[in-house]
Amino acid sequence: MSGLCHQRRFYTLDASKLPGGRGHGEPIRLFADLEQDAELIAVFPHKGGRKFLVASAQGRGFVVAEDECLGNTRKGKQVLNVSAPDKACALAVVDGDMVASIGENRKMVIFKLDQVPEMARGRGVRLQRFRDGSLSDLKTFKAQDGLAWLDSAGRAFSLTMKELVDWRGNRSDAGRLAPKGFPRTNKFGGVVRSPSKIPGETALGGEPSPASP
Distance CA 186, CA 104 (A): 7
Distance CA 194, CA 32 (A): 15
Question: How far apart, in Å, are the Cα atoms of 25 and each of 22, 28, 159, 207?
Answer: 8, 9, 40, 7
**C-alpha 149: how far from chain center:** 14
pLDDT of residue 132: 84
Name the residue among 50, 62, 51, 54 with its Cα closest to residue 118: 62
pLDDT of residue 192: 41
Residue 113, phi then psi, degrees to nearest 5? -65, -30
pTM attached to this predicted model: 0.76
Mean pLDDT by 10 residues, the chain (213 residues): 55 63 63 63 77 93 87 70 84 94 97 96 94 92 95 86 97 95 87 38 37 35
Q: What is the dihedral of CA 54, 62, 99, 190, to 10 degrees?
A: -20
**65 SS3 class:** strand
How does DSSP classify residue 30?
Answer: G
pLDDT of residue 86: 86
Other Cβ atoms closer than 10 A to 102: 27
